[in-house]
Chain A
Amino acid sequence: MVESTRQRRASSWVGSVARLGLLPLVLPRWAARRVLDALVPLVVAEVLRRVDMTTLIIRHVDLDRVVAEVDLAGLVEDVLGAVDLPRLVRESTGVLVSGSVRRVRLGGIAADEAVGRVRGRLRHRPTGPS
């Protein structure tokens, strides 16, 4: 008896919505997703702006337990493995050394050329009447 009364009320509510022309407001799923994609970030941002997350976490989260759950040694090993630190050090020092050596060599060549120019000038110097 009670159930039939509820069904009747619901059907009459849908009927009234239909009569009011509000059915287009019942969106299909893809449209609802779009609306939520646009709306949720805004709402969350506004909420976060009003809430001090740092204080909340400090007050309510057991950070020691979280850190204890993390495999720090494994994490560091993974990071070092991914970074390949020895290769980085090797390459950076190699670049430094090769840059310095190049400068020294080019400086030597320039000095050689300067000596060569002086020699050439002395050779082609016009000799005075003797």
Chain B
Amino acid sequence: MTGHAPHEAWPHQGRRAGIMTRMTAAVLDAVVLLAIVSCEYGMVAGLAFLVHPFTFGFPRPSRWLTVGVALASTVGYLAAAWTISGRTCGALLMGLRVVGPAGRLRPAGALVRAVLCVVFPVGLLWCAVSARNQSLQDVVVRTSVVYDWSR
């Protein structure tokens, strides 16, 4: 795990990450998700323009639809990222990786963890209290977020 990490980071590799790093990664992911949802809206608007070019107007989705799409996008983004590499964009930047009891997270575990994170994001704050730096989602799904600077 220390393969590509600089020597000053070696002592931390594989250790559970704390609240500050994870919060920073979460904020970065929120920015990425905002960009994703904006792109989705742009694609829908573009499609609407192609279908009705003369009567085109920017779509005005209902609040519930917007929230639903945003939540679904978040769940999809998190589950896909954790399944594929164990890290989202924010986690990649902060050098974090989500691991399960047997290493890489399985798709079902990643999906459950993603849903829990979306439904109860405040659970992340449990990191600050937990001696093992685990959020409530980590406790439920038996996962850990560790420092991993390898590529």
The size class of the interface chain A forms with chain B is: 10 to 19
Closest A residue to B28 using CB positions: A104
A101–B92 Cα distance when bound, in Å, is 10
Question: Which chain A residues in 102-125 approach chain B with CB under 8 Å?
Answer: 102, 104-106, 108-109, 111-116, 119, 123
Q: Is the beta-carbon distance between B149 and A105 smaller than 8 angstroms?
A: yes
Known A-B contacts A109-B147, A119-B128, A119-B129; the reply to A104 vs B18 at CB < 8 A is no
Q: Is the CB of B131 within 8 A of A111?
A: no
Check A112 against B18 for contact (C-beta < 8 Å): yes
Contact of B24 among A108, A114, A115, A123 (CB under 8 A): A108
B94 x A112 contact (CB < 8 A): no
A116 and B18 contacting across the interface, CB-CB below 8 Å: yes
The answer to whether residues A109 and B131 also contact, given A102-B6, A104-B93, A104-B94 and a CB cut-off of 8 A, is no
Contact (Cβ within 8 A) A113 B8: no
**Of B18, B19, B95, most A-chain CB atoms within 10 Å:** B18
Q: Mark B1-41, 1 if CB is under 8 A from A, else 0.
A: 00000101100100001111100100000000000000000
Extra A-B contacts (15), CB below 8 Å, given A108-B95, A112-B133, A116-B18: A102-B6, A104-B93, A105-B9, A105-B21, A106-B8, A108-B17, A108-B94, A109-B9, A109-B12, A112-B17, A112-B18, A112-B20, A114-B20, A115-B19, A119-B131
List residues of chain B with CB under 8 Å of any chain A CB. Answer: 6, 8-9, 12, 17-21, 24, 93-95, 128-129, 131, 133, 147, 149
